[in-house]
Structure 1
Amino acid sequence: MGSARFSRCRTMEALVVIFSVLGIVSLCCGTRLESGSRQKLEVQKHLRRLNKPAVKTIESPDGDLIDCVHMSHQPAFDHPFLKDHKIQMRPSYHPEGLFDENKVAEKASEKPNPINQLWHANGKCPEGTIPIRRTKHEDVLRASSVKRYGRKKHRSTPIPPRSAEPDLINQSGHQHAIAYVEGDKYYGAKATMNVWEPSIQQPNEFSLSQLWILGGSFGEDLNSIEAGWQVSPDLYGDNNTRLFTYWTSDAYQATGCYNLLCSGFIQINSDIAMGASISPVSAYRNSQYDISILVWKDPKEGHWWMQFGNGYVMGYWPSFLFSYLADSASMIEWGGEVVNSEPNGEHTSTQMGSGHFPDEGFGKASYFRNIQVVDGSNNLKPPKGIGTFTEQPDCYDVQTGSNGDWGHFFYYGGPGRNPNCK
């Protein structure tokens, strides 16, 4: 009898343990499910905020959906300071002294070829609307968090040697090959950039070529306006070369974003979509393609305007977004940037530019040509006292030059990992 009671007690204890374990498991599962559904709701809410109602939707051959959104419904107007903003349909003044692209490079082999965006093959947006690349559920899920979606990592601006803190540069995981000017007041910059499709080793890495318009110190208060082309699997879900812009007023911490992924940039152009694929791109020892980008400060209204190519005025960043850039820029940079995540403890093989070193020259190495700055009189001028900077020239390098056709130019880039870069 005693042994039967003992056996029953053991059975009861075992059942208590089993139910306790089941309770903990169901609690964990419940918490996980709750966390998952909370994230799902957060993502859906963010998508509703970004994807405005479309007048028309165009499917691009690369799978992108381009929504034609009424100009006054674009994400910029979610900003509390822009609720009653009257859209400025054209800049008050345009910089004087633009290079005539038709006269550049008389040699047939060096003439720029026309460039387009892939989605144009399937239609165009009506007047009064702007094309916005639709953000998909999986785009947001690839980000480290919903809050960080569409944002660069902190400290991704190249810091030239005089103001450099090497430990900070190397810790950031970003590497650059740039030309730059500093020491004056700058009211804009222009460049014609050779367009390639560099290969990316890891999905969390990117390769871009851009211009930076910078104000403030390289501390927490850095103001930056950026524009160019990039390959970023993390942001877009593929390896296509895409037009992009970026802005921040606090060194990439809480303000700013790529393209139209937050309120800020006001687009007025119905032909070009930020973040959409550029086509065609250059090929080694074959046809070369380039894009021209001009960013300048309207002397009357104070907004920073962007022009793509010779005729597409894209829109503007309102001056109130910035502190230092509300006046002028203190540094201009042009060049390439990659993320080196050091996969397997080695330098990444993610390419910059064409993936070839500058000394290979035209048709093989990537270039920036006809680089100019805008002065206080709203004139485009050749930059004075150009410096260059690269963290590891054996991985990615830069070489400057000047001539009659290309004005000030430089070749830049490289393959990343190689026998001299490990």
Structure 2
Amino acid sequence: MESSYFRDMTPILAVFLLFFLLFTPVFPTTNLKDFRHINTTFQPNKQLSKATMKTIKSPDGDIIDCVLIHFQPAFNNPMLKVTKPLDPPEIPNGNKKGGMEKKVKQLWSSKGKSCPHGTIPIRRQTESEILASDSISTFKKTLSRKDFNYSNDGHQHAVAYVTDGEFYGAKASLNVWAPNVTRPFDFSLSQIWVIADVPTHGLSTLEAGWQVAPAMYGNKLPRFFLYWTNDGYRSGCYNLLCSGFVQTTHEICLGATFDALSTYNGTQYDFDVLIWKDPRHGNWWLRVGTIIVGYWPVALFPDFSKHATAIEYGGEVFNAQSPGQQPTSTIMGSGHFATEGFGKASFVRNMEIVDEHNVLQSVGDVNLLTEKPNCYDIKNGFNSFWGYYIFFGGPGNNPHCT
């Protein structure tokens, strides 16, 4: 979830340690060194409970509350000055390579259960999960794209990126796996980053994809997630844990698991992610498969008032151990290197950007970044069906990974 712009993390605050000392820790405290607590989380309250119209228990154990749409966390923010979501804008025109777009299926609704119209599904989180979400999501701004410095801060990337131009959105199909995450506070993900790097304000990002993060969700299942920061990762937010994203659909649950996953040398499952700027109101919208999920209000993201300055596609692994210790065995993607190709390595295909005319264009030539190619690697390519694509991933710790 952290963009490859930055490589430094802040120490954990005393509040975070105190919490785990007072209450029986679920995970060893030795893994907590690189986290800090912030107070931007959305805490469940009586108002939200009263606004719950229906509750669904997912087969994976998740509890999903169907909450009246105008009671969602975003409308607690006085900066928005609205009490109901906007109507979605026109979807960008352009290429539709790779076949018809598919509806994303999640486990909580796999048996025909659904939230009523006029509500949105919100996954319940425990206090420890909320605390972990805050801690994992906050990072310090230290470097810009032009100043790559491969310091060992626990983050490993395998990404393709573009920085030459003005970007009004991005789209790609992300291949979904269930990578083994070996340490409780590690995570592994695949996503799109839409980035605005304004020198006077710092970096802002809008991010969406899938993630395995045991500390945040209580298990090792891949989940659809979104994330944002507007201050260079000094603070930020996952899903609907604070006032930043306005959800408009009753069909997709942020933080919920997928109903279908890829298997090695078997069936491959992917889904489309599209982030784009509404040409009329300036808000940045998110579409997953065939469903418009909601939007990030531009009032909360002034650096996105014009356009984005960079786009990234690919994977990331976070190693929660202290810098300098043994590399993590948390895998990226399928856990297999890019050279193994289709059915074995993870991929992102049909990588596109949205131009100033609200038209999708092929991303074209991309730059590739991987800090330690013997741990996780990446390769890119092009064909007429997939457009521009990347394969990426790896096993992490192995005899050649140092």
Aligning the two structures, in what range does the TM-score lie when normalised by the shorter sequence?
A: 0.7 to 0.9
* 3-state SS of paired residue (1:166): coil
Match of 1:268 in 2: 248
Partners of 1:341 and 1:50 lie apart in 2 by: 36
Match of 2:109 in 1: 120
**Would you say 1:412 and 2:401 are equivalent positions?**
no
Partners of 1:189 and 1:205 lie apart in 2 by: 27
TM-score normalised by length of structure 2: 0.84
What is the CA-CA distance between 1:321 and the residue it aligns to?
1.1
Whether contact under 8 Å (2:364, 2:388) holds in the other structure is: no
What is the CA-CA distance between 1:323 and the residue it aligns to?
2.5
What is the CA-CA distance between 1:216 and the residue it aligns to?
1.3
- Pick from 42, 45, 48 the counterpart of residue 45 of structure 2: 48
Over residues 117-169 of structure 1, what are the superposed CA-to-partner deviations in whole Å (9 max), with x where a residue is unaligned?
A: 0101341000111111112234235x3xxxx6375130499965x331334xx
What is the CA-CA distance between 1:249 and the residue it aligns to?
0.5
**Would you say 1:149 and 2:144 are equivalent positions?**
no
- Pick from 176, 187, 201 the counterpart of residue 157 of structure 2: 176
Whether contact under 8 Å (1:159, 1:218) holds in the other structure is: no
* 3-state SS of paired residue (2:93): coil
Match of 2:227 in 1: 246
Over residues 27-75 of structure 1, what are the superposed CA-to-partner deviations in whole Å (9 max), with x where a residue is unaligned?
A: xxxxx99x959xxxx9x99332895531000000111111101111101
* 3-state SS of paired residue (1:235): helix
Partners of 1:36 and 1:385 lie apart in 2 by: 52
Partners of 1:57 and 1:317 lie apart in 2 by: 26
Match of 2:148 in 1: 164
What is the CA-CA distance between 1:320 and the residue it aligns to?
1.1
- Which sections of structure 2, spanning at least 5 residues, go unmatched? 1-17, 24-38
The residue type equivalent to 1:377 in the other structure is: H
Match of 2:3 in 1: none
Over residues 336-395 of structure 1, what are the superposed CA-to-partner deviations in whole Å (9 max), with x where a residue is unaligned?
A: 011123479211010001100000011100000000000111110011331000100110
Worse-superposed segment, 356-365 or 215-224: 215-224
Partners of 1:304 and 1:84 lie apart in 2 by: 16
Partners of 1:157 and 1:371 lie apart in 2 by: 28
* 3-state SS of paired residue (2:130): helix
Pair 150,419 (structure 1): closer, same or farther in 2 beyond 3 Å? closer
What is the CA-CA distance between 1:82 and the residue it aligns to?
2.3
Give the structure with the larger helix fraction.
1
What is the CA-CA distance between 1:86 and the residue it aligns to?
4.4
Over residues 258-310 of structure 1, what are the superposed CA-to-partner deviations in whole Å (9 max), with x where a residue is unaligned?
A: 1001001001111010000012110101111001100000111100000000x
For the pair shown, the structure with the greater C-alpha radius of gyration is 1
TM-score normalised by length of structure 1: 0.81
- Which sections of structure 1, spanning at least 5 residues, go unmatched? 1-31, 104-111
* 3-state SS of paired residue (2:44): helix
Whether contact under 8 Å (2:80, 2:299) holds in the other structure is: no
Whether contact under 8 Å (2:43, 2:241) holds in the other structure is: no
Whether contact under 8 Å (2:102, 2:271) holds in the other structure is: no
Whether contact under 8 Å (1:113, 1:288) holds in the other structure is: no
Q: Map residues 90-239 of structure 1 onto 2, 5 A cutoff.
A: 90-91=88-89, 93-102=90-99, 115-122=104-111, 123-140=113-130, 143=132, 149=134, 152-155=137-140, 160=145, 162-167=146-151, 170-171=152-153, 173-217=154-198, 221-239=202-220
Match of 1:325 in 2: 304
Partners of 1:417 and 1:196 lie apart in 2 by: 19
Pair 138,249 (structure 1): closer, same or farther in 2 beyond 3 Å? closer
Partners of 1:194 and 1:131 lie apart in 2 by: 24
Match of 2:29 in 1: none
* 3-state SS of paired residue (1:329): coil
Match of 1:357 in 2: 337
Whether contact under 8 Å (1:198, 1:355) holds in the other structure is: yes
Partners of 1:214 and 1:72 lie apart in 2 by: 29
Q: Map residues 246-325 of structure 1 onto 2, 5 A cutoff.
A: 246-254=227-235, 256-309=236-289, 311-325=290-304
Over residues 182-215 of structure 1, what are the superposed CA-to-partner deviations in whole Å (9 max), with x where a residue is unaligned?
A: 1211000000011000001100100010000001
Match of 2:33 in 1: none
The residue type equivalent to 2:263 in the other structure is: A
The residue type equivalent to 1:184 in the other structure is: G
The residue type equivalent to 2:114 in the other structure is: K
Pair 399,157 (structure 1): closer, same or farther in 2 beyond 3 Å? farther
Whether contact under 8 Å (1:201, 1:349) holds in the other structure is: yes
Report percent identity of matched pairs. 44
**Alignment RMSD, CA only?**
2.7
Partners of 1:405 and 1:137 lie apart in 2 by: 45
Whether contact under 8 Å (2:42, 2:73) holds in the other structure is: no
The residue type equivalent to 1:418 in the other structure is: N
Q: How many residues align?
A: 366
The residue type equivalent to 2:373 in the other structure is: P
Query: Comparing both chains, which one has the higher relative contact order based on Cα–Cα distances under 8 Å and sequence gaps of 6 or more?
Result: 2
**Would you say 1:389 and 2:373 are equivalent positions?**
no
The residue type equivalent to 2:139 in the other structure is: H
